[in-house]
C-alpha cells in the first residue's frame, strides 16, 4: 500500500482566510465564520437531501456575483441562518461588500446543521453570535472539536441518539508548490466516521456494550432504524485555496470536497443529511490553479479535516443519555 504523510495544518494557512468561532455556553451549539475580507471567488455543491442554506443560488457560475466576503457554518438548524445577519453587519461596518448604488452589500453564503436534539432547542445561534464569531476571527489555526459550528454535532445517529457519539469541527491543509489548499468541516452525520487509510470506524453508532458497530453493517443485518425527521443531521464545510480560479472551477472544487466526505463518512448524503460544501479561491498566490491536481488533493484534505473533527471532539454541556465523547 502507498503511504502518505499525515495531513495537518489548517484552512487559515490559505492566504486571505481568517476563521472565528462562537461557542454558546448555555447549550451545545455555535457558529463558525470563514472570513475573506478582500473577497474570494466561490462555488458550492449541495448533495444532502435536507439542506439549510443561504445565498447559494448566486454562486451558480451563470449568475452575476463573482466574489463573497465570508461563509458561515452554523448550528441551530434553519434558525441558525440568522447568524449570517450578524456577519453581514460586521462586514458592512468595515465598508466591506459588493458596491451596489449607495451601499456596499456583504455577500455571505451560509449553511446550517441540526443540533437541536442536544440541550434546550430554543437556544440557537443568532445575529449576535455571527457578529461575535467575526470579532474572534484571526489567521491563527482555529480550535477543533466541540467548538463553533461543531459544538453540538453528533455522528452515528440512525438508530437513535442513545447510540450516537460526538462529532465536531476539524480543519486541515497542504501545500502544492506555491499554492495552499485547506478545508474546514463541521461533522454532524447520520453515518459513521471512517479512517480511509484503514477502513476502520473512528466514531459512530455503538452497540449495547458501547462498541462501534457500524451504521451500514447494521442496515445489512436488518436492524430497523427509528424514523428520524429529515434534516436532523448534516455535514457542512469549506474548501479553500489561494490559487486563481473561476466560479465554475470553484464549483468543481466544492464537488471534490464531497468526495472527501464520501471517503470518511459512511453512509453519506442521506435523506436526513443536508450535506453542503463551499469552495473559496482567494487568488493570493497569483498562480492559476491546476484543476487536475487540486481535484485530486481536495478529497484527501477534506477527509483529514473530518477525522480531526471527531478526534478532537469532547462531551460538552448536557447530553442525551449514552452520548459518548472521544478521548
Three-state SS for 98-112 is EEECCEEECCCCEEE
Q: What is the per-residue pLDDT across 212-239, written as a single tens digit (0 to 9) for each? A: 999 999 989 888 767 666 668 999 999 9
Q: What is the per-residue pLDDT across 138-164, written as a single tens digit (0 to 9) for each? A: 999 999 999 999 999 999 998 888 889
List the chain domain ranges. Answer: 11-311
Q: Any bridge partners for residue 67, and if so which?
A: 41
- Give the pLDDT band of residue 40 (cuts 50, 70, 90): very high
What pLDDT sits at residue 6?
76
More confident call, 233 vs 112: 112
The C-alpha cell at 105 is 452589500
* Low-confidence winner among 48-57, 143-152, 216-225, 260-269 (lowest mean pLDDT): 216-225
CATH of 11-311, one of 3.60.21.10, 3.40.50.970, 3.40.50.300, 3.60.70.12: 3.60.70.12
The C-alpha cell at 177 is 508548490
User: What is the distance between the alpha carbons of residues 41 and 268, in angstroms, rounded to a whole number?
Assistant: 27
What pLDDT sits at residue 4?
62
What pLDDT sits at residue 160?
86
Question: What crossing angle do the helices spanning 247-264 and 291-311 adopt, rounded to 10°?
Answer: 40
Amino acid at each position: 500500500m502507498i503511504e502518505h504523510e499525515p495531513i495537518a495544518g489548517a484552512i487559515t494557512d490559505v492566504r486571505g482566510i481568517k476563521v472565528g468561532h462562537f461557542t454558546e455556553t448555555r447549550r451545545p451549539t455555535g457558529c463558525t465564520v470563514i472570513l475573506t475580507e478582500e473577497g474570494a471567488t466561490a462555488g458550492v455543491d449541495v448533495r444532502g437531501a435536507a439542506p439549510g442554506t443561504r445565498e447559494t443560488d448566486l454562486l451558480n457560475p451563470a449568475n452575476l456575483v463573482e466574489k463573497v466576503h465570508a461563509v458561515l457554518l452554523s448550528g441551530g438548524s434553519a434558525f441558525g441562518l440568522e447568524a449570517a445577519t450578524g456577519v453581514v453587519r460586521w462586514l458592512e461596518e468595515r465598508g466591506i461588500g459588493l458596491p451596489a448604488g449607495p451601499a456596499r452589500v456583504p455577500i455571505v453564503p451560509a449553511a446550517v446543521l441540526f443540533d437541536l436534539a442536544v440541550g434546550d432547542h430554543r437556544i440557537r445561534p443568532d445575529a449576535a453570535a455571527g457578529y461575535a464569531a467575526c470579532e474572534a476571527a484571526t489567521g491563527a489555526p482555529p480550535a477543533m472539536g466541540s467548538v463553533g459550528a461543531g459544538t453540538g454535532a453528533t455522528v452515528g445517529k440512525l438508530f437513535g441518539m442513545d447510540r450516537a457519539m460526538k462529532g465536531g469541527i476539524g480543519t486541515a491543509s497542504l501545500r502544492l508548490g506555491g499554492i495552499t489548499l485547506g478545508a474546514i468541516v463541521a461533522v454532524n452525520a447520520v453515518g459513521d466516521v471512517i479512517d480511509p487509510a484503514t477502513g476502520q470506524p473512528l466514531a459512530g453508532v455503538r452497540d449495547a456494550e458501547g462498541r462501534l458497530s457500524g451504521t451500514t453493517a447494521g442496515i445489512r443485518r436488518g436492524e430497523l432504524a427509528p424514523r428520524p425527521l429529515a434534516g436532523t443531521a448534516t455535514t457542512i464545510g469549506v474548501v479553500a485555496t489561494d490559487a486563481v480560479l473561476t466560479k465554475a472551477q470553484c464549483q468543481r472544487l466544492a464537488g471534490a470536497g464531497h468526495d472527501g466526505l464520501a471517503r470518511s463518512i459512511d453512509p453519506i448524503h442521506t435523506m436526513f443529511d443536508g450535506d453542503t460544501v463551499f469552495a473559496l479561491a482567494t487568488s493570493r498566490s497569483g498562480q492559476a490553479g491546476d484543476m487536475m491536481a487540486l481535484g485530486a488533493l481536495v478529497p484527501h484534505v477534506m477527509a483529514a479535516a473530518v477525522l480531526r473533527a471527531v478526534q478532537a471532539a469532547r462531551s460538552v454541556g448536557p447530553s442525551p443519555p449514552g452520548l459518548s465523547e472521544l478521548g
